[in-house]
Amino acid sequence: LYTAPDSCEGRCEEPYSEEDECHCHADCERFHSCCKDYHRHCRPDGFSSSQDAITDEDLLDISEQLYRADHNKARPTDITINPQYQAGPDETGDQEDRSPQPLYKYVNEELFSKPTYASFIKLLDNYQRVTGREEDVTAEELREQDNFLKEVMKTELMKKLFTFLHKKNRYGSPQEFVADLKEMWFGLYSRGDGEQDSSGFEHVFSGEVKKGKVSGFHNWIRFYLLEKQGIVNYFSHNFNGPWDTYPDVLGLQFSWDGFYKEVGSAFIGCSPEFEFGLYTLCFIARPGRACPLSLGGYSLSIQTYTWTKSTYGNGKKYIATAYIIS
């Protein structure tokens, strides 16, 4: 009676083993290590069968709460973008620069002096962008990680997220939550040849280059700072969200030092804690699947993926990627 190693069919409540690709016991949700079909086989009633489950309704409600709690986001007068050319689906891959002007006409850089922005920006130069090159993490860089986590946890937004996850029995204390954030986002793993060359934070926020293409790189602050230096060249956009204030959402094409990103997506004008919090929520609630959210009455989805080749703690998974489905 062979069972596929990535399925829960016939494996419900099987004891934890680190040899298993994924797990089917009651704690697997807490450790983000469930097989994708866990709910189909082991929870016949779906998420609603447990008070600890995170329902789609919960996600829509908590995301609106986080949206309202983003007090550090840009005001409409803080940013002026110039999206220019909108590329059709058949044009995103042709690497043509159809927008002669930069994407950012104006950004009020006073935003960057806010503690969460300042501590976030300090992290961006900590990485070798090419996969396969081992990351050399210094004591100073570890302090920068801790400082960023300390600053975001002071915000109402991240406090609300912790309260929600605590009620859902995912974390017992803020200290446990912060320790797990540090591992899932900053813990190193290998995308290359066995080197500890990548992390969820590097991939999502700072960006990587893999096989001659831009990989990850979903952050507006990083984009703005590099565009200002002439290192990033904006080509076009394929999606512009319905928001008439910030945060907005853009799907975009660009090159980074000559390496191309065919379809990137980014929140524009949100605070670092907003993006960090939403991606964390979706990674915990819907790893490997589309995560339905609501922002200011408008729906959107975030896709996250777990890193499957290595784990931390008791079989917990690192973040491989997180991005808005545009």
- Determine the distance from the C-alpha atom of residue 55 to the mean position of all C-alpha atoms in its chain, rounded to a whole number: 20
Q: In this predicted model, what pLDDT tens digit does every residue of 121-173 receive, in sequence order? A: 999 998 888 887 888 889 999 999 999 999 999 999 999 999 999 999 999 99
First to last CA, the chain: 42
* Domain 1-44, CATH class in plain words: few secondary structures
Q: How confident is the model at residue 24 (pLDDT cuts 50, 70, 90)?
A: confident
pLDDT tens, residue by residue, 107-126: 999 999 999 999 999 999 98
Average pLDDT value for residue range 185-204: 91
Which ranges in the chain are annotated with CATH 4.10.410.20? 1-44
Average pLDDT over residues 12-21: 82
pLDDT attached to residue 50: 61
Nearest-angstrom CA–CA distance, 195 and 77: 44
Beta bridge partners of 300: 293
Name the strand (E) or helix (H) holding 293.
strand 290-295
Q: Which residues are catalytic?
A: 203, 218, 261
Question: Interior CA angle at 157 toward 155 and 160, to 5°?
Answer: 110
Residue 46 — pLDDT band, cuts 50, 70, 90?
very low
- pLDDT, one tens digit per residue, over 63-90 is 999 999 999 999 999 999 999 999 999 9
